[in-house]
Homo-oligomer: A and B are copies of this chain.
Amino acid sequence: MSKQKPSLPKGTRDFGPAEMNKRHFILETIKKVYQKYGYAPIETPAMENLSVLQGKYGDEGDQLLFKILNSGDFLSKTEKTDLNSSKDLLPKIAEKGLRYDLTVPFARFVVMNQHNLSFPFKRYQIQPVWRADKPQKGRYREFYQCDADAIGTDSLLCEAEIVLMIKEVFTLLQAKKANSLDYSIKINNRKILSGLVEAIGQKGKETDFAVAIDKLDKIGIDKVKEELSSKGFDQAAIDKLDPVFAISGNNREKLQAVKSVLQSSEVGLKGTNELEEVLNILDSFGMEVPELELDITLARGLSYYTGAIFEVKPNNVKMGSISGGGRYDGLTDNFGLPNVSGVGISFGVDRIYDVLEELDLYPDNNITSTKVLITAFDQDSWNYGLKVLSSLRNAEIKSEIYPEPVKIKKQMKYANDKQIPFVIVIGSEEIKSGKLALKNMQEGTQEMLSTDEIINFLK
């Protein structure tokens, strides 16, 4: 065994206790909301057969899959001719890959368990995924996804509940009331986009249209029109979009305006009707969601969406979307099970982490860490401390004793470094009186209290 300076694979990260506490806050919040809305947890293995993964994410995705070398003498099943190129050799020496997202494993899970599942099936899944992307700021090769999907129903209740879940997650994440995250829940419907293309007589150019209109925010109306023109949209068609670009008002007003443009498109009107129904269900719930904003320029890249699409954008932090999702029709088509419709949402943990950090929104109390440290001047005090510790733990208070009666300063430093909010100090005086010194580490104050009083105070 050689001695070496260890390192981490690029694009991967360790999480220490302080980061874990913040991530825990985010993940537990999302989990709690998913459960509250009836989504049940599942987990799938990190490895999937490459036959399951390949061909699902496009050519670029196939490149970015991490492949696992077959165990043992992996060359034994290869021929000389396989060795000419990586492309030829790959399928002979690797049969498994790491999960690239949670959607394809979920589709596989549904197909393999279709006879045991009760539909509608609502599941959430919070696990890491791996992509051999070029690492850069905010982009990692291992990162968590937090997905919830409801499949086997086309009820628009699911869409409305996704809006409510998003609102609830971001409300709970703003634990510190002093600051706040200003955000929009943007909603659109793919059928509206298709309808617009149809209504202006350019059917078949849906993708070019979506790519161009998606940039409206960044480049403005004129540049979007230029791009459409360069993609072969004729001028008359482009002009027909003017009322769309001029749309304003609240969500209901916007929908009316879009409808007037879409009069000739059956699919387009189906899209507006769906969104209207989502707004109606939200009204029935009696929930106000002022953050919800119909944005008919929202397109989202993933081509498998067929109905409502969502995206959450922070408005007071410079950051891309922190949550997104939508309705799809063919989740399990690739695995021979057609017509499985569903709708899903995903929260971007790493970006949310950065947003909360920037706005200083994390709660002050560390959820996972020790609440009180017992320190002792000498061996007798330490032995006495063990009994105090026992009482604290019996009262379910997260507590520790410094493992040896070393210099108090060193014990205090430990509490400080670990951000333990309270310290009990025990010396011979304290044993005699039964009143222990309880120090508040943040405020620097100190009180003399009995063990019972300390327990009552800390609970």
Interface residues of chain A, those whose CB is within 8 Å of chain B, are 1-9, 12-17, 20-21, 24, 35-38, 40-49, 51-52, 55-56, 63-64, 66-69, 71-76, 83, 85-86, 89-90, 93-96, 98, 108-109, 111-113, 116, 118, 120, 122-123, 128, 130, 132, 141-142, 150, 153, 155, 157-158, 281, 284-287, 333-336, 368-370, 373, 383, 386-387, 389-390, 393, 396-401, 403-404, 413-414, 417-418
Set of chain B residues within 8 Å of A38, measured between Cβ atoms? 370, 373, 398-400
Top 8 nearest A-B pairs by Cβ distance? A118-B417, A155-B403, A38-B400, A17-B40, A12-B45, A71-B132, A20-B41, A6-B108
Tell whether, in the assembled complex, residue A1 and residue B285 are in contact, meaning their CB atoms are under 8 Å apart: no
Tell whether, in the assembled complex, residue B93 and residue A69 are in contact, meaning their CB atoms are under 8 Å apart: yes
Q: CA of A225 to CA of B443 in the docked complex: distance in angstroms? A: 65
Tell whether, in the assembled complex, residue A51 and residue B155 are in contact, meaning their CB atoms are under 8 Å apart: no
Task: With a 10 A CB-CB cut-off, give which of A16, A83, A123, A285 has the most chain B CB atoms.
Answer: A16
Tell whether, in the assembled complex, residue B69 and residue A94 are in contact, meaning their CB atoms are under 8 Å apart: yes
Tell whether, in the assembled complex, residue A83 and residue B86 are in contact, meaning their CB atoms are under 8 Å apart: no
Tell whether, in the assembled complex, residue B74 and residue A86 are in contact, meaning their CB atoms are under 8 Å apart: yes
Tell whether, in the assembled complex, residue A9 and residue B401 are in contact, meaning their CB atoms are under 8 Å apart: no
Tell whether, in the assembled complex, residue B36 and residue A398 are in contact, meaning their CB atoms are under 8 Å apart: yes
Nearest B residue to A287 by beta-carbon distance?
B390
Set of chain B residues within 8 Å of A390, measured between Cβ atoms? 285-287
Task: With a 10 A CB-CB cut-off, give which of A69, A94, A108, A158 has the most chain B CB atoms.
Answer: A69
- The contact sample of 23 A-B pairs, CB cut-off 8 A, is A6-B335, A7-B52, A7-B112, A9-B95, A14-B109, A20-B43, A35-B369, A36-B396, A40-B369, A40-B370, A41-B368, A46-B142, A47-B130, A67-B68, A67-B69, A69-B69, A122-B400, A153-B403, A155-B403, A155-B404, A158-B403, A285-B386, A285-B390
Tell whether, in the assembled complex, residue A418 and residue B14 are in contact, meaning their CB atoms are under 8 Å apart: no
Tell whether, in the assembled complex, residue B40 and residue A418 are in contact, meaning their CB atoms are under 8 Å apart: yes
Tell whether, in the assembled complex, residue A285 and residue B2 are in contact, meaning their CB atoms are under 8 Å apart: no
Tell whether, in the assembled complex, residue B4 and residue A336 are in contact, meaning their CB atoms are under 8 Å apart: yes
Q: Which of B37, B142, B334 contacts A1 (CB 8 A)?
A: B334
Tell whether, in the assembled complex, residue B76 and residue A86 are in contact, meaning their CB atoms are under 8 Å apart: yes
Tell whether, in the assembled complex, residue A40 and residue B75 are in contact, meaning their CB atoms are under 8 Å apart: no
Question: A107 → chain B, closest Cβ, in Å?
Answer: 8
Tell whether, in the assembled complex, residue A118 and residue B69 are in contact, meaning their CB atoms are under 8 Å apart: no
Nearest B residue to A34 by beta-carbon distance?
B368
In the complex, given contacts A37-B393, A286-B386, what are 15 additional A-B residue pairs having Cβ atoms less than 8 angstroms apart? A2-B55, A3-B335, A4-B51, A4-B336, A6-B52, A14-B43, A36-B399, A47-B141, A73-B86, A120-B403, A150-B403, A153-B403, A157-B403, A158-B403, A284-B386
